[in-house]
Amino acid sequence: MNRKRRCGTLMHITSLPSPFGIGDLGPAAYQFAAFLRDTGQTIWQILPLNPTSEAMGNSPYSSPSAFAGNTLLISPELLVKEGFLDEQHLSGSNLEFSEKMVDYQKALKYKNELLHVAYHQWIDRNGMRSPEYMLFCKEQSAWLDDYALFMALKSYFQGAGWMFWDKDFCDRKPSAMAEVRTKLASTIEQEKFCQYLFFGQWNALKKYCNDLGILLFGDMPFYVGHDSADIWAHPEYFKLAANNMPTKVAGVPPDYFSETGQLWGNPIYDWKRLEKGGFSWWRDRLSHNLKLFDWLRLDHFRAFSAYWEVDAGEETALNGKWVETPGEAFFSTMQEQFPQLPIIAEDLGEIDQPVRDLMAKFDLPGMALLLFAFGEDLPTNAYAPHLHKRHLIVYTGTHDNITVKGWYKQEASHDDKMRLQHYVGKPLTPKTAPEAMIRLALMSVADTAIIPMQDWLGLGAKATMNRPSHGEGNWRWRLSPDAITLDLVMKYRLLIDTYGRAVES
């Protein structure tokens, strides 16, 4: 990673404006890239691009695939421009979409109908598959074939988890697989075609951003979902019983926020088996993501040192234990293939020395959140600006935190507010607190400062992207179409220039 002063914005693709109920890879994405350039920013950080599901609360961190792209992000407008749809197809729906919040259910219905039309129109016009499509399928075959078959079977079994399918399909019996590939051939092909569209639009956006000098900063979850193509296709890499159910599950132990910890329920990796195979599945996953992004954040990084393991069947994470991960062997193997290793460690929360040692050995930068800096331990708090180091990424907050305005108004104690005001040397209000916090991030000695879009705009708690303790209503915030004004661009360009973080001309 090239160390120089940079600045960027955290905003997921779903939060972009669009006429179709959810942000996508279309015109608004290109306009947002131009906004970043005009303000002197060089980083656009997003959340995972993997498919989401209503059953998992539409979280981008809970997906049926660690490799596939979320087809909800495909732009209908670009499909017209690319010749996959006709203009009249975009006005054929009677659905009304909100500009204020993502409407996953309506957007999914609308996009699926459009993609179905695009697929059949493509088949009719091409007669046979195009060379570009064939090349895509060949290059992505390591995951695409399994994913397309998995999704076709999931539809065939009316959405049931793979562990509840007929045994021949659970166990991937060769004769059953050959038969179903023929039976569901059209559905399988359409799944592959939709992935072809997604990655085509993503790669075009990435090229545009890179040409503007903007790096795309992605995010990779640590665990994968039980009901995923990854575990169905590679059960040997996970701790599963003979009935395909987990024997051990993931979570985190009790802490200040929860007396019983958090029980996530994801199956645990069989790290001995993974290491014996040269970490090939992880290597493929990392390679795939590093082609999509210029930088990559590894979520729940501490699990590369040790993870919290709980027996399946436990009702809480209380009775778990720490189990060491072969993190040093893993990163040594990854570094052989990816010498630059442009990885950022999500090291938030209670982190022990072995995690710090692992980060130091492989020169991986961590994160500092200003929202967590102004407690009683301010003078010695590593998140406080006066203790920042260059090899660090400073944030006002992340997608999992309330906005700065919301924090100041609703969550910060009186003492927290007083400490912040004393630190910046002036009185603050909920309206002025976001800019004060942004200035602290930008003036930090940390090489990189990332500001969530909601904080750039000074928005309140309702604009929070995700409330981890709330099961509903998350991942829905959207940027208003008229939110980015010339005054906003000029104001933040001046700030970014002042603190030496502007893009080099």
Catalytic residues: 299, 346, 400
Residues ≥6 apart with Cβ < 8 Å to 250: 223, 264, 265, 266, 267, 268, 303, 307, 308, 309, 310
Query: Tell me, what DSSP letter sits at residue 238?
Result: B
What's the residue count for the chain? 505
> Token pair of 448, please?
């990189």
CA 408 to chain centre: 26
Nearest to 332 by CA among 374, 296, 283, 294: 283
- Residue 147 phi/psi, 5-degree rounding, is -65, -45
Distances (CA, A) of 399 to 87, 450, 474: 35, 12, 10
Nearest to 372 by CA among 381, 364, 380: 381
Side-chain half-sphere CA neighbours of 176 within 13 A: 10
* N- to C-terminal Cα separation, the chain: 20
> Token pair of 351, please?
């982190």
Residues ≥6 apart with Cβ < 8 Å to 138: none
> Strands across the sheet with 215-220, in order?
343-345, 295-298, 215-220, 43-45, 6-10, 448-452, 392-395, 366-369
423 DSSP β-pair partners: none
314 burial type by CB count under 10 A (0-12 exposed, 13-18 middle, 19+ buried) = middle
Distance in angstroms (rounded) separating the CA atoms of residues 204 and 79: 13
- Residue 322 phi/psi, 5-degree rounding, is -80, 135
Distance in angstroms (rounded) separating the CA atoms of residues 149 and 230: 12
Distances (CA, A) of 110 to 113, 115, 200: 5, 9, 20
